[in-house]
Amino acid sequence: MRASLGPQGGCVEGATGPGPEPVPQDGGDVRPRACAAFATPCVEAVMPAFLNLLFDTRDFPPRWYCGNWSSLHGWVHILADLAIFGAYFAIPLVLIYFVLRRRDVPFLPVFWLFAAFILSCGIGHLVEATLFWQPWYRLSATAKVITAVVSWATVFALIPLVPRALALPGLAIVNEQLRQEIARRERAEEERLKIERQMQQSQKLESLGILAGGIAHDFNNLLTAILGYADLARRSLPEHAPAGPMLDEVISGSRRAAELTNQMLAYSGKGQFVVQSINLNELVGGMTRLLHITISKKCRLTFVGDPKPPMVQADPAQLQQVVLNLIVNASEAIGDQEGEIRVSTTRQFCDRTVLAQSFLDENLPEGEYACLEVSDTGCGMSDETKARIFDPFFTTKFTGRGLGLAAVLGIVRGHRGAIIVESAVGQGSRFRVLLPLLTDGKPPQTAQHAPRNERWTGSGTALLIEDEDPVRELAAFMLRRCGFEVHAAADPRAGLAEFQRQPERFALVLVDMTMPHLSGVEVLRNIRRIRPSTIVVLSSGYDESQLLSQLEPGEVDAFLHKPYSYEELQQAVRQALTASPRAAQHPSA
């Protein structure tokens, strides 16, 4: 039988327990001898006074001997306390790990207080479990005091955090904010990729444009000699000479080759533009018959013009080329099937959102634009095809179609416009060409051309500065035929030196625009500095309006576009010597 604690605090007889059972010899109080049996004298020898007090067990018996504990009842308490201690020890470890890994989480100090609170509770349960063998009641009390202090510290730390915690967005709001942030980042990434693609496309177009422009320039020089000499040979023959038709074919072929070089120059943005005010409705309407002949007989062509005709300032021949190429492209997309091609003109205000959709977003200004739209019900295009449709000689057909849409892009860029392409496989395509709207509708002032006169001749000495030998020899021959003495120079520096020696000697200077060492513009300005009244004609295969935009109004007297015939050179020289304000100062006029 084991002792149990009586009403006066003594031990009484009770049921047999798992603990050691003291056997009283004299029937007296067994508590002092039971406590002494479980005392640990070694602790008294090594612990400081405070710890000695905490672990002093002389005044208390183990819990097994304090109450009517059954074996099952006691072990349930012990195991439960140990299990709770294990959990209370693991939870703080998890919290500490979380706090150390996520320092961005709000209210971090409270997490440390929670960890201390739960750990102190766990230590209290561990001590409770050991009381069945070691009566460390003072240690148990101390653990409870620490737990109480930490608990209330946690409470006081939580109270001011409640308003801040309530102000935190709910999970639905956080998810919505996260969704919006993801969408924003996706848009930013798409914008970055779009800008990157545009830069790559711009660089590709620029490099191809430089290549095309260089080829066209050199080709124009060759064509100038071919066309010029063929024209001179034809003029020297009788009207019905057997060689006449053959020379006519040479001249015609040279003209067609010149058109190809003009397309290449258009792609490079340096095409020959004769700018004037154009009514888009009239331009497209005037091409209707030609367009019906060009497209497949199974295609139905409709044209819808804006009731208020949009006016643009452009080159009509180049815009006709744009319309024709877009219509041909639409017809080929429809193929042998029945389909519809729709052409329309509208006025449209374009903001940055609309202009950003263009094939090349070149930071065009917002404002009113004239829109020429060509749509078809053809096979449509994939994204990969759309990315390459403006590449020179690119085609999805068996054979190539020349520059085609590449020339369209160059012409549109040369007119400071934009082109937007919308297409999907099996859903047709829509091309929108945007050109700056001419609001006043007034045609620009054009130079007055002198009437053609085969018998007109000049007089005096002409200075010819041209670096290409065949072109220089041809131009010198033509100038002599016009009645001039000619001094020719292959190097612009040598030509300037000759002019500086005797500026009054020269009635006319014909200068090529593109030469090594000095450009035609630099030569012109040096001539103007030496003798401002000199008549100067510039010659180039590039666009006249683009080149003249580098000059002040009236700085040059005439422009001669390559390749040219004898009549065209004569016309340009006569215009310079008769229509220029400086002409009255020269007897050759």
In angstroms, the Cα distances linking 450 to 236, 461, 575, 579 are: 24, 21, 5, 7
Under the banding of pLDDT at 50, 70 and 90, the label for residue 345 is very high
Q: Among residues of the chain, what percentage have pLDDT more than 90? A: 23
Whether residue 464 is predicted with pLDDT greater than 90 in this model: the reply is: yes
Whether residue 194 is predicted with pLDDT greater than 80 in this model: the reply is: no
* Mean pLDDT, range 237-244, rounded to an integer: 85
Q: What is the pLDDT of residues 356-412, one digit of tens each?
A: 888 766 678 889 999 999 999 988 888 888 878 887 767 766 554 556 788 788 888
| HSE-CB for 36 with a 13 A CA cutoff | 6
The reported pTM is 0.50
- Per-residue three-class SS string for 217-256: HHHHHHHHHHHHHHHHHHHHCCCCCCCHHHHHHHHHHHHH
Length of the chain: 589
Cα dihedral sign, 372-393-256-558: positive
| HSE-CB for 299 with a 13 A CA cutoff | 26
Q: What is the pLDDT of residue 248?
A: 86
Q: Are strands 3-5 and 11-13 parallel, antiparallel or unpaired?
A: antiparallel
Q: What is the pLDDT of residues 265-300, one digit of tens each?
A: 666 666 656 678 999 999 998 888 888 888 888 889
3-class secondary structure, 533? coil
Q: What is the pLDDT of residues 44-89, one digit of tens each?
A: 444 567 667 777 777 778 877 776 777 888 888 889 989 988 888 8
Domains along the sequence of the chain with CATH = 3-165 (no CATH), 175-268 (1.10.287.130), 276-436 (3.30.565.10), 461-585 (3.40.50.2300)
Whether residue 550 is predicted with pLDDT greater than 80 in this model: the reply is: no
Peptide bond into 563 cis (omega under 30): yes
Q: What residues does 312 pair with on adjacent strands?
A: 278, 437
